[in-house]
Structure 1
Amino acid sequence: MYEHQTYEAILARMLARVPVTIDKREGSLIYDALAPAAAELAQSYAELEVNNNLSFADTASGEFLTRRVAEFGIKRKVATKAWRRGGFLDSNSALLNIPLGSRYSIGGLNYTTIEQISTGVYVLECETAGTAGNQQFGDLLPIAYVNGLAKAELTEVLVPGEDEETDEALLSRYYETVNEPAFGGNMADYRQKINAINGVGGSKVFPTWAGGGTVKCTIIAADWTKPSPELVNEVQSTMDPEENQGMGLGQAPIGHTVTITGVDKVTVNVETTLTLAPGVTPGQVQSDVEAVLDAYLLEQRKAWAAQTQIIVRTAQIDARMLTIQGVEDVIGTKLNGMEANLVLDEEEIPILGTVVINE
């Protein structure tokens, strides 16, 4: 809007208002008097442009985007803490009950026991919010002495921790809310309510899947993997508790019988033949190939909720392998033994399995 209000343009307009009988050349008294004012005005116009952009959702960022979408009842998702499964054993390798609230450390992160699942098996909450709490696996070290404890292990991710919602994700959710109004148990209503639950990365809604009044909702975890049974149960209880389905005791409307399921994972085994640069061996590019394939399948999982079904394409895989240094050509790529695209069902997501490289 104010891109034409430059220092040069403003100064030229100011000098044009000065009578021609006065010396207006650079270095003259009037020029030196007007130049600083023109610079300040140009800076003011630049700041006006920034402020103008911050007042609209499509160009706002940070705090200003948060405040803009809040006018429509949308709140930026804050970082959440991961819930993990932990196992505890005594010196005889028998399961051991430990105190709730006891704290354990791994990889610079601390976890606190918050709930007992069964004998020697507990839910641990990461003390650090965000996706960092999803990453570590293995032996835990007690921060304080725990009587009888010989081994503690951090295992499954029950509810993934999430980082604070990005501007891009918040803007996308804002457009979805505005353009697809949620009302009375329509599909948009289910998607928005389910996606707002901690640990859920996305969802698909299948209305009348088992007759009138039935709704099936399939979810993917926030770390873009198959959700744990605990997360599925939490979403089920939030939307429509199983013991009183259809009674309106959850967020689903009265008369709607809701079934929550998790996505199914399909292992994608890849076999390919590479032409490598002189002196390069398959072992040298193995990890790079696995990394680009894993990144491609992660992109597909992130887009799962917006797609009817995922198609893992050999052309995409070949193109990504060709970006690896040392790879000159790719032929004969097979997915699960077939030289063809892998078409998944609408409730399935791809997970990378074995990668075999031939020369």
Structure 2
Amino acid sequence: MYENQTYDTILARMLTRVPNTVDKREGSLIFDALAPAAAELAQAYAELDINNNLIFADTASEEYLTRRAAEFGINRKEATKARRRGEFFDNTNAPLNIPIGSRYSIGGLNYTAIEQISTGVFALECETSGTAGNRQFGTLLPITYVNDLARAELTDVLVPGEDEETDEALRSRYYETVNEPAFGGNIADYKQKINAINGVGGTKVFPTWAGGGTVKCTIIAADWEEPSPALVEEVQTIIDPEENQGEGLGQAPIGHAVTISGVDVVTVNVETTLTLAPGVTPGQVQSDVEAVIEAYLLEQRKTWAAQTQIIVRTAQIDARMLTVQGVEDVSGTMLNGVDANLVLDEEEIPSLGTVVINE
């Protein structure tokens, strides 16, 4: 808005207000008196322009976007802690129950036992908020001494930890809420309520899927993978408890029998023929090729909720493989043994399986 209010423009305008009978050349008394004021005014106009952008949701950022969204009851999601499955054994390899509140460590992260799932199996909560708690798998080291404990393993992600919501994610949610008002169990209402639950990354809503009064909501986890049964059960309980479906004991309206399900994973096996640079072997590019394909499939999973269905395209995979250093050409790419795009159902997401590279 104020981009034309530069130092030179302001100074020139100020000098026009000085009579021509006064020396206005650079270095003159009046010039040197006005120049600092023009510089300060130019800086003030620049700050006005910045502040003007911070007023509106499309250009606001950080604290200002948080405050703008909060005016409509949309609060920025804080970082959450991952909940993981821990398995514990004694020296005979039999499952061992551990004390609630006992602590364990792996890869610089600490986890606390918060709930027993079954004999020797416990839900552990990461003490560090964010996605870091989703990444570690393997042997846990006890921080708290536990009698007879011989081995502890950190396994499945029950509820993924999430980082603090980004500006773009909050802005998108702001527009969705303002432009698609949630009311009385409409599709927008279900999406907004379910997406606000910790661990949920996106939702698709299928109204009257099994007759009048029935609703099916399919979710993807916040780490863009298939949700754990524990997360699906938690969302089901919050929205419409299974034992009292349709009675309005959850967030769903009375009369709505809601079924929560997780996305189905389709394994994508890739076979391709690469022309490699002289001296480069398939083994040298294998991991990089797998990484770019996985990155493409992750992009597709992140947009799953916004798409009618995901189409895994061979052309997209070819284009990404061509970015790998040492790959000069690509041909004959097949997905699950077929030389064609892979079209998934509405509730399916792709996950990378094997990658076979031919020369």
TM-score (norm: length of structure 2): 1.00
Amino acid at match of 2:213: G
Q: Secondary structure at the match of 1:82?
A: strand
The answer to whether the aligner puts 1:221 opposite 2:221 as a matched pair is: yes
Over aligned residue pairs, what C-alpha RMSD do you find?
Answer: 0.4
Distance 2:229 2:93 in 1: 26
Structure 2 CA distance for aligned equivalents of residues 92 and 170 of structure 1? 50
For the residue of structure 2 that corresponds to 1:258, the secondary structure is strand
The total of aligned residue pairs comes to: 359
Where does residue 302 of structure 2 map in the other structure? 302
| Cα deviation digits, residues 270-306 of structure 1 (max 9, x gap) | 0000000000000000000000000000000001000
Deviation (angstroms), 1:57? 0.3
Q: In structure 1, the residue corresponding to 2:132 is in which secondary structure?
A: helix
In the alignment, does 2:9 pair up with 1:42?
no
Amino acid at match of 2:204: K
Could you report, residue by residue, the CA deviation over 1:189-210 in whole angstroms, capped at 9, with x for unpaired residues?
0000000000000000000000
2:323 matched residue in structure 1: 323
Please, which runs of 5 or more residues in structure 2 have no aligned partner? none
1:21 aligned partner: 21
Q: Report 1:1-359 matches (<5 A).
A: 1-359=1-359
> Residue 81 of structure 2 aligns to a residue in which SS?
coil
CA distance in 2, matches of 1:25, 1:114: 77
For 2:214, the aligned partner's letter is T
2:3 is paired with a residue of what secondary structure?
A: coil
Letter in 1 for 2:12: A
Q: CA deviation at 1:145?
A: 1.4
> After alignment, is 285-294 or 14-23 more displaced?
14-23
Structure 1: segments with no counterpart, 5+ residues: none
SS at match of 1:177: helix
Report SS of the residue matched to 1:128: strand
Matches of 2:90 and 2:25, distance apart in 1? 89
Letter in 2 for 1:102: S
CA distance in 2, matches of 1:356, 1:205: 37
Q: Write the deviation string for residues 21-65 of structure 1: whole angstroms up to 9, x where unpaired.
A: 111111111111100000000000000000000000000000000
> Which amino acid in structure 2 is aligned with residue 297 of structure 1?
L
2:286 aligned partner, one-letter code: Q
Q: Following TM superposition, where does structure 1 have runs of at least 4 consecutive aligned residues deviating by more than 4 angstroms?
A: none
Match of 2:78, SS? coil
Using the TM superposition, give the Cα deviation of residue 144 of structure 1 relative to its aligned residue in structure 2, in angstroms: 2.2
Q: In the alignment, residue 77 of structure 1 is paired with which amino acid?
A: K
- For residues 97-119 of structure 1, the C-alpha deviation after alignment (integer angstroms, 9 at most, x for no partner) is 11000000000000000000011
- In structure 1, distance between residues paired with 2:251 and 2:290: 42
